[in-house]
Amino acid sequence: MSREILIVDGLRKFFVTSRGTVRAVDRVSFSVRAGETLGLVGESGSGKSTVAYTVIGLHAPTSGRIVFDGHDMSTSIWKRPRALKRAIQIVFQDPGTSLNPRRTVQQILELPLRVHRVGTPRERRDRSIELLRKVELPEDYLYKAPHMLGGGERQMVAIARALATDPRLILLDEPTSALDVSIQAKIIHMLLRFQREMDLAYLFITHDLSLMRNVATRVAIMYLGRICETAPTEEFFRNPLHPYTQMLLSSIPVVSKEEEAIRPARIISKGEIPSPVHVPPGCGFHTRCMVCATACSAEEPVMVEVEDGHFVSCLHFPPASDALPRAAESEEVF
């Protein structure tokens, strides 16, 4: 198993507003290993993007630790060493707004190189052409403005920009959710190829579990600012344990009988995600849970390892030595 290059430990990010404190991320811990893809999955308002923005340094954490390659980066972005900033890059969801409309593709691709003082102007230009070639765009795209490109092409420019500084970790914040499936397929193939060729680690933020089934090494599910379940992909889809994970999986519209068979059946989705200003006491999911017990609204669940690498945060899985038999038993309840 390769070493962990990103460790997030007890991360909290609260936003103080006039209507109360938004607990966007509350005690989130996970790690990303070199060369792997961690899929961070959740619905809108779950805090998944806030996690990415805090890791990249757009937000300073309220508390908790972010460690990249042995260096603590929990302080403000201004104190973060430039070499570390260079090693972590991000691709945003909407390439229509994440690319400056008044710059050419060349200027967009050269900016990170200029910021990190890489090469001479001549070398930077050559590097831009090389980056375009990497994402399979023709060289004359250097002189185009973002509005002249299609949605898929813009996202490829955004990916090329993220690759410019030879990063080791890329945060992908829903990079394909605004695109058609045929373009998504193309971009995903490219991302997987870059990962192999450059030994990149991805923190892949998405709401699409079917996509993660095919892309992620491990999957973590977020709900209301917390991670409620995490496991290696195979294990995660074979044996989803958290009631929220099961509700999520059973809500996915699928296209074949084979998919229907592995989707947990008969779990009827109810309720809506509560406001992160008024987080319910106890387990955050208890207001929508179909197996909610009285203790769930009072007691906070803790992360329990039920199987090798498979963690779940649910009171139905108590932190005891008999966690394994309990897990098997509870499966019938759900």
Partner 1 sequence: MGEPVLRIDDLHVSFRVYEGTLQVLDGVALRVDRGQRVGLVGEAGCGKTTTMRCVLRILQSPPGRITAGAIRYRGKDLLRASQGELQRIRGSGISMIFQDPVAALNPVFTVGDQLSAVIRHGTHRRLTRGEIRRRALAALREVQLPDPDRLFASYPVQLSGGMRQRVCIAMALATEPEVMIADEPTTALDVTIQAQVLRLLDRLVQEHETAVIFITHSLGVVREMADWVYVMYAGTIVEGAETDELFERPLHPYTLGLLSALPKLTGGGIAEGIPGRIPDYLHPPSGCRFSPRCPSAVAACHRDRPVWMQVRRDPDHAVACHLYPKGEA
Looking at the Cβ atoms of 88 and 248, the one nearer to partner 1 is 248
Structure tokens at 189: 């193939």
Span of 68-76, 138-146, 263-271, 294-302 interacting with partner 1 by CB under 8 A: 263-271
296 alpha-carbon distance from chain centroid: 27
Find, among 180, 170, 18, 186, the residue nearest to 86 by Cα.
170
Contact between 209 and partner 1 per CB under 8 A: yes
Distance of alpha carbon 75 from alpha carbon 57, whole angstroms? 9
Contact between 172 and partner 1 per CB under 8 A: no
Scored b (16 or more CB within 10 A) or e, 235-252 reads: bbbeebbbbbbbbbbeee
Write down the least CB distance from residue 193 to partner 1, Å.
11
Contact between 34 and partner 1 per CB under 8 A: no
Q: What residues between 88 and 117 interact with partner 1 by CB under 8 A? A: none
Find, among 91, 42, 75, the residue nearest to 225 by Cα.
42
Looking at the Cβ atoms of 67 and 273, the one nearer to partner 1 is 273
Contact between 292 and partner 1 per CB under 8 A: no
Write down the least CB distance from residue 105 to partner 1, Å.
18
Looking at the Cβ atoms of 261 and 333, the one nearer to partner 1 is 261
Contact (Cβ atoms closer than 8 angstroms) between residue 286 and residue 208: no
Write down the least CB distance from residue 247 to partner 1, Å.
6
Structure tokens at 116: 């990190």
Contact between 213 and partner 1 per CB under 8 A: yes
Distance of alpha carbon 191 from alpha carbon 201, whole angstroms? 11
Contact (Cβ atoms closer than 8 angstroms) between residue 205 and residue 171: yes
Contact between 156 and partner 1 per CB under 8 A: no
Q: Which residues bind partner 1 (CB under 8 A)?
A: 43-44, 150, 152, 180-186, 188-189, 207-211, 213-215, 233, 237, 247-256, 258-259, 262-263, 268-270, 272-273
